[in-house]
């Protein structure tokens, strides 16, 4: 996918990491409190990768202090804000409409209310409002909300819990590459379930550590490891139980290749362009082995 990429921090960050030698290590799982153990195969000088001995959730702890990468993201947005709003992740609104239309066959009509959690500059909200949705977006980044609000209404600074949205008020909640940033993912998913109307759906995507793109090809340069504030690296085995425990029914799971959509991916593999790369990604896509983990789940009536 060409177009606006909100994760455009790579240029600002590359080469500026400062290793913090005495960073205290996280010792227990943020979800189940069991012990965390190092993952032998994934050892990096500036990133500690640990895995919960009970639930298997992989935790990431950065041992370096990257500069404020949002500055680069903001620069990119300000270069062409109108273009960014027009291009950014518009396929998401089509995805939502497609899946809700399928479920609505013979079912009750759901209100066209959408919430994008971690909406950044609000491109999804902008697009959804163009298509007649009463769309809202929340993001803890106040600058992103302020910039985006010049183009669309419905953007709110702060976290989801602070907004006071009434329970059952949304037919669609979008969390696109957001859950891996949230320290208490289980509590956040429980909040999402409350906000969904019966029959409403959660559209969620995170990086997929189980893909060979992550652990074999890109490794430390993989977007799941490279993004400075990722706290977790999910796999289907660790993500799906969280969604189900929140009270949602998983409808579909797919693993798209996202390494080609997001910046990142240096080294010999990242340098491999053109036909070879397209061919390899094509095979991985066909095998459903991509490095994105896309889950659509439903709140049962
Ligand atoms: Zn655990």
The pocket of ion ligand 1, defined by CB under 5 A, consists of: 29, 31-32, 34, 52, 54-55, 57
pLDDT tens by residue, the chain, 301 residues: 333 333 333 333 334 445 555 566 888 999 999 999 999 899 998 899 999 999 999 999 988 777 677 888 899 899 999 888 887 677 899 999 888 886 665 555 788 999 999 999 999 999 999 999 999 999 999 999 999 999 999 999 999 888 999 999 999 999 999 999 999 999 999 999 999 999 999 999 999 999 998 998 888 888 899 888 899 999 999 999 999 999 999 999 999 998 865 544 444 555 556 677 778 888 888 998 999 999 999 999 8
208 contacts 236 by C-beta, under 8 angstroms: yes
- For residue 54, how far is its CA from the centre of ligand 1 (angstroms)? 5
Contact 231, 30 (CB under 8 A): yes
Q: Which fold has domain 86-221+230-298?
A: Rossmann fold (3.40.50)
What distance in angstroms lies between residue 253's CA and the mean position of ligand 1's atoms?
A: 22
Q: Which residues pair with 61 in a beta bridge?
A: 48
Distance 238 CA to ligand 1 centre (A): 9
Determine the Cα–Cα distance for residues 281 and 155; give it in Å rounded to an integer.
35
Q: How many angstroms does the Cα of residue 187 sit away from the middle of ligand 1?
A: 14
Q: Alpha-carbon distance 216 to 267, whole Å?
A: 12
Tell how far the Cα of 28 is from the centroid of ligand 1, in angstroms: 8
What are 223-244's pLDDT values in tens digits? 899 888 899 999 999 999 999 9
Alpha-carbon gap, residue 225 to 230, rounded angstroms: 7
> Which run of H or E residues covers position 155?
strand 155-157
Residue 37 C-alpha to ligand 1 middle, in angstroms? 11
Query: Domain extents for the chain?
Result: 86-221+230-298
Helices (H), the chain: 10-13, 70-79, 81-87, 91-104, 123-130, 142-148, 185-195, 212, 223-226, 236-245, 267-270, 274-286
8 Cα–ligand 1 center, Å = 31
As to burial, measured by CB atoms within 10 angstroms (0-12 exposed, 13-18 middle, 19+ buried), residue 238 is: buried
């Amino acid at each position: 996918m060409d177009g606006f990429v909100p994760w455009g921090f790579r240029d600002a960050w590359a080469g500026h990491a400062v290793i913090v030698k005495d960073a205290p290590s996280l010792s227990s799982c943020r979800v189940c409190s069991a012990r965390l153990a190092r993952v032998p195969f994934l050892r990096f000088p500036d990133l500690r990768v640990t895995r919960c001995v009970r639930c298997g959730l992989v935790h990431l702890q950065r041992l370096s202090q990257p500069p404020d990468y949002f500055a680069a993201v903001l620069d990119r947005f300000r270069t062409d804000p109108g273009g960014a709003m027009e291009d950014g992740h518009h396929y998401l609104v089509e995805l939502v409409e497609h899946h809700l239309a399928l479920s609505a066959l013979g079912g009750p009509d759901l209100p066209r209310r959408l919430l994008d959690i971690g909406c950044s500059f609000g491109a999804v909200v902008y697009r959804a409002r163009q298509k007649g949705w009463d769309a809202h977006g929340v993001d803890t980044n106040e600058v992103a909300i302020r910039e985006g609000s010049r183009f669309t209404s419905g953007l709110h600074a702060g976290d989801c819990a602070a907004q006071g949205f009434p329970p059952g008020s949304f037919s669609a909640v979008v969390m696109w590459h957001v859950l891996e940033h949230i320290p208490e993912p289980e509590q956040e998913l429980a909040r999402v379930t409350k906000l969904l109307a019966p029959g409403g759906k959660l559209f969620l995507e995170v990086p997929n550590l189980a893909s060979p793109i992550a652990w074999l090809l890109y490794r430390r340069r993989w977007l799941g490891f490279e993004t400075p504030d990722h706290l977790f690296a999910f796999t289907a085995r660790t993500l799906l139980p969280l969604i189900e425990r929140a009270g949602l029914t998983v409808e579909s799971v797919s693993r798209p290749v996202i390494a080609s959509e997001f910046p990142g991916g240096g080294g010999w593999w990242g340098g491999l362009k053109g036909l070879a790369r397209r061919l390899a990604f094509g095979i991985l896509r066909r095998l459903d082995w991509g490095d994105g983990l896309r889950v659509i789940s439903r709140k049962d009536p």
